[in-house]
Amino acid sequence: MKRNVILKVLTIFTMMLAIIGSFSTSPAEAAPSNYKFDFGNGEVEKGYIGVSANDKYDVKKRYGFNTPENMINVPASGASLGSDAVEFLKFGTKSDNTFNVDLPNGLYEVKVTLGDTARASVVAEGVYQVINMTGNNATDSFQIPVTDGQLNLLITEGKVGTRFTLSALEIDKLSHHPETNRTIYIGGDSTVCNYYPLDSSIQAGWGQLLPKFVDPETFQVKNMASGGQIARGFLYDGQMEAILKYIKPRDYFILQLGINDTNPKNTTTEAQFKEYMREMVQQVKAKGATPILSTPQGRATDFNTEGVHSSVNRWYRNSIIALAQEENVPLVDLNVLSSAYFTSIGPAASLALYMNGDTLHPNRAGATVLARIVAEELKRQGLDGFTGEDKKNQ
């Protein structure tokens, strides 16, 4: 009797060990959560995985190009990682010519380094992730949730006729939960967008500098603004689609357009502009997030003979203000707020905040001033996460 009991106990113990073993996956079998890829056919940087244009996706390797016949290896003018790249011959937000990487579901930080290109955008999961990276070896990063076990990424059109290249890719897992951290999304034009290198560009948009005045423990900032943009284009050409894919309750969306909409070549009436803007505001509201409208700042030379800066009748400002009231959303009247600042420092100091020979586009110092004004106003209105202080230089 005792022997039978002992045998049963041993049998149960053996079965338990087998079950426990079935849940244990060896490191060789586990899908990695972090990768560093060096693209092209040159020497592979230490610590990186070399990927050539003809490397087709392999389920055993867990990475590769979906259609390598649409890829070529190309040289690049940078050093080490930036000395070579792959070029995407087929592209577009819905293209299947992607670089695929198997990943456990979760939230990832993806860092992209381009090869030689004048202007290119990054697409992943069928939508824009980074808009208009400019210059050779430009680098940027973004958060992305992976929910289907695979990241699908490509470099696509930022400007017609330029090359769309990729030199390096770094992927790091941030969380097991496939949802972005709280995010401030930004929509706008060339006075708002990013310029590269991000940390040292001479020209800058205020959206590029806004992270200086945002608590990084509360928000990440995702600037989807682009040069020359109008409300109709932002709404229908992919930027708004990308925001709506990820925006969620407790996120913010700051939208500033109007400068290019008033250009006759864009054939946008003020009434049409207002309705395009309204549609974006309502789409964000429907996601449970908070839309914020901003009016564009004026030109450096908008001073009257008494030394007062004013541009209150420019760029469909009145329709932006009316829309904010009608939709009951926060408004940053950057037009008036920046004019008050420019008046306080005078014409010469104001002009010094703009690019040389350009009275519309701010330089890095000017973009920093505008970003601080935006953050201070939103903090004053009680929106959380805005410091009004340069956190990166403290």
Query: Which residues are annotated as catalytic?
Result: 190, 358, 361
Structure tokens at 104: 């456990």
Q: Give dist(CA 183, CA 251) in Å, integer.
A: 5
Bond preceding residue 197 cis, omega within 30 of 0: yes
- The answer to whether residues 300 and 350 touch, using CB atoms and an 8 Å cutoff, is yes
Q: Give dist(CA 241, CA 113) in Å, integer.
A: 24
Q: Give dist(CA 97, CA 213) in Å, integer.
A: 38
> HEC profile for 40-75?
CCCCCCCCCEEECCCCECECCCCEEECCHHHEEEEE
Structure tokens at 133: 């990276």
Half-sphere exposure of 33 (CA within 13 A, CB side): 15
Strands 119-124 and 220-223: unpaired
Helix (H, G, I), strand (E, B), or coil: what is residue 137?
A: coil
Q: Give dist(CA 109, CA 32) in Å, integer.
A: 14
- The answer to whether residues 225 and 231 touch, using CB atoms and an 8 Å cutoff, is no
Helix (H, G, I), strand (E, B), or coil: what is residue 34?
A: coil
